[in-house]
Amino acid sequence: EVQLVESGGGLVQPGGSLRLSCAASGFTFNKYSMSWVRLAPGKELEWVSAINSGGGKADNADSVKGRFTISRDNAKNTLYLQMNSLKPEDTAVYYCAKSSYSDYVLPPAIIDFDSWGQGTQVTVSS
């Protein structure tokens, strides 16, 4: 079965950095677009960043543009999210999500994600 396992979350001070990883298995990783989606306390799921199947195209939500970078290593079946200049409002559970398609439309719709990881907690606080 499809498995997505996030890691790399933790507690970081404002302005700090974290790199999240998502280890994928159970499907042909290099055939599908992938995204990072987050859930902050009291808020709805928010799409954060997307990358197409080959890794040649990527986009971010306005809230993280210039600070977050999504990437993938298809040889390692791994998705990454480099998070810099972190702000308290970035505090959330971050999920790795698999799209049903090889490419994405902006903004990606939550309904188009057919598999999710368990999430990793990111807390940005002094």
**What residues are paired with 4 via a beta bridge?**
24
pLDDT digits (tens, 9 = 90+) for 18-50: 999 999 999 999 999 999 999 999 999 999 999
What local confidence, expressed as pLDDT, does residue 74 receive?
98
11 pLDDT tier (thresholds 50, 70, 90): very high
Average pLDDT over residues 94-107: 97
What local confidence, expressed as pLDDT, does residue 103 receive?
97
**What residues are paired with 28 via a beta bridge?**
none
Q: Which two tokens stand for residue 4?
A: 């997505």
Neighbouring CB atoms inside 10 A of 79's CB total 28
Mean pLDDT of the chain: 97
What local confidence, expressed as pLDDT, does residue 22 receive?
98
Residue 68 in contact with residue 84, Cβ under 8 Å?
yes
Q: By percentage, how much of the chain surpasses pLDDT 90?
A: 100
What local confidence, expressed as pLDDT, does residue 59 receive?
98
